[in-house]
Structures are given as structure tokens and as C-alpha cells.
Structure 1
Amino acid sequence: MKLFDPRPKTSRDSLFDRERELEELHRAVDRGLPLVALLGVRRVGKTSVLRTFLGEVNGLYVDARGLVRRADLETRVADALSESLGRLRRFLEGVRGVSVAGFSVEVRWRGRDSVSLAGLLSEIDKRGERFVFALDEVQQSKPPVSAELRSVLAYGYDNLENVTFVVVGSEVGMLRDFLALEDPSSPLYGRYAYEVHVERFSEDLSREFLERGFREEGVEPPPGVVEEAVGFFDGIVGWLVLFGRGYVDGAGSVEELKRAAVNLAAEELGKLSPRERMVLRAVAEGCRSWSEVRRYVDERFGVALPKATLSRIIEKLEKLSIIRGYEFLDPVYREAARRLTT
């Protein structure tokens, strides 16, 4: 798989400069830590790190985005088991409620001789080998399944000595809220999550990434193209891939490719509420304090935000990992926010 392939990477051969993150994950699992959080801003490459790591251990990957019903969770777990059957067959054979036939897995979640998710993980735990159960973007799951996932994590934390749970999230504050480690009402209260952070590339690494990617494609861009992309995309590997792929495929000029990235970010920000978009616009236009944001929203949009409302909005935008301290974590989103209207 080449560097400019937009799909998540699955091996070290195609993953660029993530040795530190992979080794941190390996150390955490080798130490038997029960709960690991893999964190980083949007498009920084967390899923590629995770999928590559899971290719080197006994583990299962489940995409938790948008999960609402238990049936949806059960379907995704069963599909993930089938996709990884070649590596996981020995963990599943003989487990009550699990049928392995050819290259597929059928799980009986209800009725006679059925198994629950916690029960399935308990059976895997009995095999005596280290196993990783990974939930990607788990903070985007919704009730009632989100509560069930927290209960499974808590059960595994307390009872499954051979299972490590890895939870992944780009909305860092929301992920921490989902785990609720400091909330007495949460089943995970008082537990500890070891954090591994996937960082953006430095300017030098961004430059090397693009230059290597262009060499793989047999393309030599004119002087200045790489430097412009390095300066604009600020080490966010997903944007660098999008730019490189688009440039190689002739999808547009440098400016058109930058605009395409901003448009994509604007689509995501457009899903926020009107008041949240107002606040982001204010921050994008240079407001660097609570009072400046409130004044800008009043003068620009004619909306006087109550103090409590503004505080809640800023807190939410920080938990979504869009801003921190009145600064955007990704310059592409800053440019996109400048286009926001109510």
C-alpha cells in the first residue's frame, strides 16, 4: 500500500514514521494494562496506527461510530470476527454460541446456547493468550449501546486478565467523558486508562512524507508545491494524503486541492448548531477571550449569548478537539470556520 492510498494502513511497510506509537501500544499490552486510550486530532492517522498494531497482535477491531442498538453492535462484532478469522480461529473454536464455518463466523447472541459480548470475551480470556479488543471512535456510540459498552469495559477491566481494551477517539474530551473515569455513577469510576497520543508530523516529517509519496507515484512536482502543502496542512497526515492523492491524479491545482480540504472540513462543521458555528467563526476571526467571542457574536450576528450558554459551547468545542485555548487545533478547520454562516 502506497503512502498516498487514502485507506487506513495495515502494516509497518506502508505506515510512515509511527514507530513510537506502535511501541507504546506494544509495551502497554505486554504489561497487561487493561485499558488503553489512543488519542489524537482528526485525520492524524490513529486508525492506521491501530490497524497496523492489530496486525501484529491477537486482536479485534470494531468501528463504534454511530452505534445505537445492541443488534448493530452485535453485527459489527460478528463481521469483525469473520474478517479476522484467519488469525483468531483458535480463540473461537469450541466457544458456546459461536459457529466457525469455512471463512465466516456466526454468533448466536440470543436464545438457547447463546453468548453475550462479555461472555465471548470471557471465553477468549480463558485461552490464556494476550488479546486486544479495540473500539474505534467509541465516544460516537449512542445510548443504549454506549452504556452497554461501558459496562463491558468495566467487566473486562475487573475480570479479564488476558484482555486489553483499546479505545480510540479524535474527540478527546468526548472520549474522556464517555469513559467517565471520575464519575461516581459510571461503571468505570476509579479505573485508569493509559493514554497513547498520535502526534502530527513536524515540518521535516511532512516534507519527507510528501516527497516519498511523490517518488512512489513517479511524480516530481514543481518547486514550491511541497513547501506550500507542508505550511498549509500543518502535519495532519490525512490532509497530506488527500493533497498528494489529488495532485498525482490531476484533480486540481494546489489552490484547488487546498480549497477541497477546506470544503470537506466545512461540511463537518456545518453539522454543529448555529450558535456553535457563530462561536467558531469568532475564534477563526481572531477572538482570543471569552469576552471577545461574546462581543463578536453580538456585533456580527446580532445574538447576545447568555454567559452560561457561551461557556458550555466553548467547553463542547474543546471536547470535540476543534479548538483549545481559543486556537484551532487544525488550520484547515480554521479556514473552514471563516466560511461558516448561521
Structure 2
Amino acid sequence: MSSQRGAKFIKEPPEVLRGVSMPRPKRRTPLFFDQRPRTLPEQLFGREEEVEKLFRALEAGSWVAVLGPRMVGKTSLALAGANEFAKENGYNVVLVDLRDTETFREATEKILGRLPRSILDSISEYLSSISEVSAKGAGAGLTVKLKKSAPARRALSDALFKVQDTILILDEVQGIQQGVPHFLKALGAVFNENHSLQIIFTGSYSGVVRRLFEATYSDESYGRPPISIMLTPWRESVAEDFLRTGFEKLGVPYEEWEIRDTIRNLGTLPGWLNLYGVRRYVERNHEKALKTAIREAVKEAKSELENILEGRSPKARKVVRLLAFGASWGDLIKTGISEDALSRLLGILMDELFILNKDDMGIYYFADPVYRKAAMSIPLVTEGE
């Protein structure tokens, strides 16, 4: 962070609203390596410019899209930047995790469940006729289930029109596929009229986020185009400094070759390196920590690739396996996949997940060593199986 705002860092983030009023539990002091999202700007590493840009976008009243691959730190940036803005401007922060949320209706129910109970009480006459609201465990928020006859767009709009001085973080929003136009129009209408509501989207450039950018230029009902903040993997020098800084702060003995070995095997995505850092702090053994981190990272990356391949031709699996070693367009077409299907698959890997590169010789390859290892382990499925 710059010195201009450095003196204003918050000491304690405002409580993320979960829909129920509960006593604040005693907070665990986070370590330098921590698998939970960061909540304060000073807990982030190597993202000073991005935090400043996010803060300026919120000051300007813009909605924001924090974009990038998984494990790059999108949630941490959004939450830390929102908390700083909230502290300085008297706002609340509502974080809604939309992973595994495929429809507008499901998204609406999750968003409503994270709003303060007072908001739902203020529209209780409407909600009581369309929803079932029940409190869950401490801090878990509310469970909101809309009845089949209830219009999700109206339920979301009515609730968000009541929200005051709040930053709404819609985390991993790209998975929503059904009802996207209604979702965007509901958010756009509220955003245009409720000036005390700020919205931050996080995700890859797909699904809702892509359609949001496209729609805002052609239909004023969606609101103004969002400001994008692109997070990319760290440069190797930044990744090395991250590991050194963590080891020195935590008193973990290390050798320089261990840092190079870690980056060679895990790449420079913050999430993978942080996973290794946590294990190294606990295990105090480089080989054991790296082995565990690689196993967990490859498992998660393979799951991501399997999600992409689901419903596609077995030829797509052959393409992914070839990409692990590097392949030209011509090499990939030899798998028998159609040009259209290949173009779509490469587009997802390059433009939505940011895990595939193309060099000057026209060779496509996985830039991240974790995804490279995961691609090598993708099983081939023959036609008819």
C-alpha cells in the first residue's frame, strides 16, 4: 500500500454480515501463511497496486470485477479491500460464496440468507408469502428457500433496495448459468437506484462476469460497465520473496534451493505456495511439505479439469493430455476433435481459467506446473465407454 493510505489500515475488520446477530468470537491471530482468505490489506503480499485500484473504484461508486484463475487470491483481495473501504466509510461487508451455484434462483436464496435479519424483517410481508426462513447455527446466517411460485428477481430487488451502506461481494460468480439476464437486470436496477450499495464480483472471465461486461455496453438497464481488476500469478521474484518473508517471520529455517525447488514444482499461484507454506510451518521439513502440497494441489487442479471435460467428447481428454507436453493446433486436431470443439476448449483454458499459454511457435502448453501434472493424470476414455 502507498504511504498515503498506509496510516489508515484497519486494525480489525468489520464483521462480515451473516444474517444473524451473534456475539463476535475471539479471533485467532492469522499467521503469514494461512489457508483462509485474507481480511486486511496488510495481510496481502505483492498486491498493493490492485488494492489501491479496488479502493479507488469503490470511491468512484463503480461495481468491480476481480478476475483471475483459481488460487490467485481473488477472494482475499476483494475482502481485504472491501474491509478497508468499509472501515473508513462506515460500511458493512456481506460476502456470499456462490461456488457450486448454477441458477439465479439458487444465487438469490444464498444472497438473501447472508443479509441481516433486519432486512428480511423489513420485507417480511412479501417474504412470508414466498419463502421459508429459518435460523441455522451460530454465524451460519439464514436459510432462505423461495417457493416455486416466487419470482426470484423481485425477491432479490426488494431486499437489496433496503440495504444501506453495504459492500456486497459475490464470490466465484461465474458458475451461474441459468437465469443470468434476470440476475443482471435485478442487480443493475438496484445498483442504479441504491447508491449506498456497492457490488464486487469475483471469478474467471466466464458466465455471469463475461455477460455482465458484454451486456452493460448494449443495455443501460444492466448498469455501467464494471471496472476489472485482473489478478495474475506472481512473477518468480515475488513468489520467492513471499516464501522467504514467511519463513523469516515464522522462524522456519530454509535453504535457497528449497525455494527454487518449490516454485519449480508448484509455480507462482499464491494459493499453491501458501498451501506449501502452511505445511512447511507445521512439518518443518521441505520434502514432506512439498510432497503434501503437490498432492493436494494436483488433486484440486485435476478436479477443475474434470469439471471442464464433463460432457465433452473423449477426444477432449486426449487434447488435455497432449497439452501437458505442449502441442500445436495441428497436433491437437489429429486427436479427431472438431475445430469448433477445440477452439471452445482452448478458449476456456486460456481466456477463462488463464492456465494455458501459446508461445511464438504456436505451441499451446500449461504454464502452471500443477495443472501440467494434473493433465498428465487425466484418464483417457475411449468412444463407447
TM bracket (short chain)? 0.7 to 0.9
Aligned mate of 2:349, from 314, 317, 332: 317
- The Cα shift of 1:211 comes to 1.8
Whole-Å separation in 1 of the counterparts to 2:123 and 2:222: 31
Superposition deviation, residue 4 in structure 1: 1.5
CA distance in 1, matches of 2:208, 2:368: 19
Q: 2:122 matched to 1:95? A: yes
Work out which of the residue numbers 94, 111, 114 in structure 2 matches 1:60: 94
The structure-2 alpha-carbon separation of the partners of 1:94 and 1:152, relative to structure 1 and needing over 3 Å to count, comes to same
Decide which moves more: 250-259 or 1-10: 250-259
Q: How much has 1:258 moved relative to structure 2?
A: 5.5
Q: Identify the match of residue 190 of structure 2 among 146, 149, 156.
A: 156
Does the 8 A contact of 1:269 with 1:277 survive in 2? no
Q: What code does the residue aligned with 2:162 have?
A: E
Map residues 1-342 of structure 1 onto 2, 5 A cutoff.
1-33=30-62, 35-56=63-84, 57=86, 58=91, 59-68=93-102, 72-82=106-116, 92=119, 95-97=122-124, 116-124=155-163, 127=164, 129=165, 131-144=166-179, 146-169=180-203, 171-179=204-212, 181-182=214-215, 191-250=224-283, 253=288, 256-257=291-292, 259-260=294-295, 261-271=297-307, 272=309, 273=312, 274-287=314-327, 289-295=328-334, 297=335, 304-321=336-353, 322-325=355-358, 326-342=364-380
How many Å apart are 1:30 and its aligned residue? 0.7
* Conservation of the 8 A alpha-carbon contact between 1:40 and 1:197: yes
Q: TM-score, normalising length from structure 1?
A: 0.79
TM-superposed deviation, 1:280: 1.8
* Contact 2:55/2:82, CA 8 A, preserved across alignment: no
| Most deviating of 53-62 and 73-82 | 73-82
Residue 160 of structure 1 deviates from its aligned partner by 3.0
- Runs of 4+, deviation exceeding 6 Å: 101-112, 183-190
CA-CA distance at 1:106 after TM superposition? 8.8
% identity of equivalent residues: 27
Shift of 1:44: 0.7
Kindly tell me: are residues 269 and 187 of structure 1, through their superposed partners in 2, closer, same or farther at Cα, counting changes over 3 Å? farther
Deviations, residues 33-53 of structure 1 (Å, cap 9, x unaligned): 2x2111112101111111112
Tell whether the 8 Å contact from 2:173 to 2:202 is kept in structure 1 after alignment. Answer: yes
1:286 partner letter:
G
Q: In the aligned structure 2, how far is the partner of 1:248 from the partner of 1:148?
A: 47
Task: State how far apart, in whole Å, the 1-side matches of 2:80 and 2:349 are.
Answer: 30
The CA distance in 1 between the partners of 2:112 and 2:212, in whole Å, is 24
Change (3 A) 1:12 1:316: closer
Tell me the TM-score normalised to structure 2 length: 0.71
Deviation at 1:70, TM superposition (A): 5.8
Does the 8 A contact of 1:174 with 1:319 survive in 2? no
Q: 1:337 to 1:160 in 2, by over 3 A?
A: same
Gaps of 5+ in 1: 298-303
Give deviations 1:188-220, integer Å, cap 9, x for gaps.
678412111223222222122112222343321
Superimposed CA distance per residue, residues 55-100 of structure 1 (whole angstroms, 9 cap, x where no aligned partner):
2222321111222456643442244235xx8xxx7xx49833399x
AA at the equivalent of 2:75: T
Q: Which moved more, 1:4-13 or 1:24-33?
A: 4-13
Q: Displacement of 1:165 after TM fit?
A: 1.9
Equivalenced residue count is 318
User: Which residue identity is paired with 1:121?
Assistant: L
CA 1:259 to 1:159, structure 2 compared with 1: closer, same or farther past 3 Å?
A: same
Q: Distance in 2 between matches of 1:180 and 1:12?
A: 27
User: Residue type matched to 1:248 in 2?
Assistant: Y
Gaps of 5+ in 2: 1-29, 128-132, 359-363, 381-385
The letter of the residue matching 1:315 is: G
Alpha-carbon distance between aligned partners in 2 of 1:202 and 1:308, rounded to the nearest angstrom = 33
Are residues 195 and 69 of structure 1, via their aligned partners in 2, closer, same or farther at CA, if it must alter by over 3 Å?
A: closer
RMSD: 3.5
Closer/same/farther in 2, CA of residues 248 and 77 from structure 1, 3 Å limit: same
**Distance in 1 of aligned mates of 2:221 and 2:343:** 27
